Structure 1
């Protein structure tokens, strides 16, 4: 073979090898898209999705409010606050009531208020006459006459989200419906016997609340009472 032809073949082989090496280097870098036959370029790590993996508890939880939950939370009422026509109360409603004294006969005075609305209703006002705060648990157990067979029924749905806690001089309220939807025998009442409950719901000693402008006509079997409320306006919703 002539020397010049051999030199041209050597040069061509060198160029081809160099081109192959260059293409291999570029393909390995991942930054060049190749569409030629036999070339496969994997996407670089920078183009793959690596979004965060989220783990959590979702919406699981205890939820709801039970009677025992309510007994451990308080809404504090200060003097002069209870009669305000507002549902905003002092306190967060999450203070434990377990460390407070129970409002009892020695620390509470109960009076009766007549109201025009709702009709056939009166309101009980329980005022803390002691020098320290107390918890007004549950609802008042009522007795209108000595021959009454059972304490007055409680109004469904009237339980507040927190126990009413009375600062010294403050008041809590309970609504009393004196007549039911059905017709029952009527009693002429001048004094309402009020029993205050403790944290367990047991009734303690009796307080007698005189009815202003007596007599008050009450259907003992059809009457009902609300839970203690922190304001008069709350009590009147029942």
Structure 2
């Protein structure tokens, strides 16, 4: 009777113990899986966060670099624009200064300038250059063009017409000691029965209201010149002889 009572008790205890071990084993495996999954998610989130940080940092650096380049370009453009404006302002000031000087300087008289003549290069001689140098000691304005007469007397000499295209854009203001020039055609070249020899000629200047009083006798270049009154023309006074405007 004792033996039959013990066996069921032992079997029951053994079954309970086995069940307990089974549940513990299952619970442990599920816990490991859950912990592994959580660690994996955390690792993935960490990796993803680092990648996003790199992208954001690179994007920020690129944006900063582009901003610097744009700022440098804008600064350079502003500097160029300022230089152009200053250059125009300087040119305008010079123009205004010249106009003011021209307005203040009186017209040159024949006593204010020394006039000389020289042959231009080339044979035969078809052109001469007149040089008017201010010897007055003060500034004066040399108006229009030289009034020339190749005849025996100023009163009977034929006026030599001026070539309009040689007219300068601004008044010719001569400071003390400075020169101005005028090209003069004296013939069409070659031997012509209309040509006459000239060893000196007359030059007069313009005043503010027309031809000035008096005239200056100018010696012809060495050897004299051959003048055809019908072909003779004169250029305007200029600071320097200009190609094109004085080719006539």
Q: Say yes or no: TM over 0.5.
A: yes
What is the CA-CA distance between 1:208 and the residue it aligns to? 1.1
The aligned counterpart of 1:144 is 150
What is the CA-CA distance between 1:232 and the residue it aligns to? 3.6
Instruction: Specify which of 106, 114, 121 is matched with residue 119 of structure 2.
Output: 114
Instruction: Specify which of 188, 193, 196 is matched with residue 202 of structure 2.
Output: 193
TM-score, reference length from structure 1: 0.56
Structure 1 segment 41-190 matched on structure 2, within 5 A: 93-95=98-100, 97-116=102-121, 120-146=126-152, 149-180=157-188, 185-190=194-199
Is the radius of gyration larger for structure 1 or structure 2?
A: 2
Q: Which has the higher contact order (CA 8 A, sep 6+)?
A: 1
- Name the SS of the counterpart of 2:102 in structure 1: coil
Over 4 Å off, 4+ runs: 233-236
Aligned equivalents of 1:192 and 1:204: distance in 2? 17
Structure 2: which 5+ residue stretches go unaligned? 1-93
Aligned equivalents of 2:143 and 2:199: distance in 1? 25
- Please give the root-mean-square deviation of Cα atoms over the aligned residues, in Å: 2.9
What is the CA-CA distance between 1:187 and the residue it aligns to? 1.3
| Counterpart check, 1:231 vs 2:237 | no
Aligned residue pairs: how many? 150
Normalized per residue, the structure richer in strand is: 1
TM-score, reference length from structure 2: 0.54
Normalized per residue, the structure richer in helix is: 2
Aligned equivalents of 1:102 and 1:194: distance in 2? 15
Structure 1: which 5+ residue stretches go unaligned? 1-73, 76-90
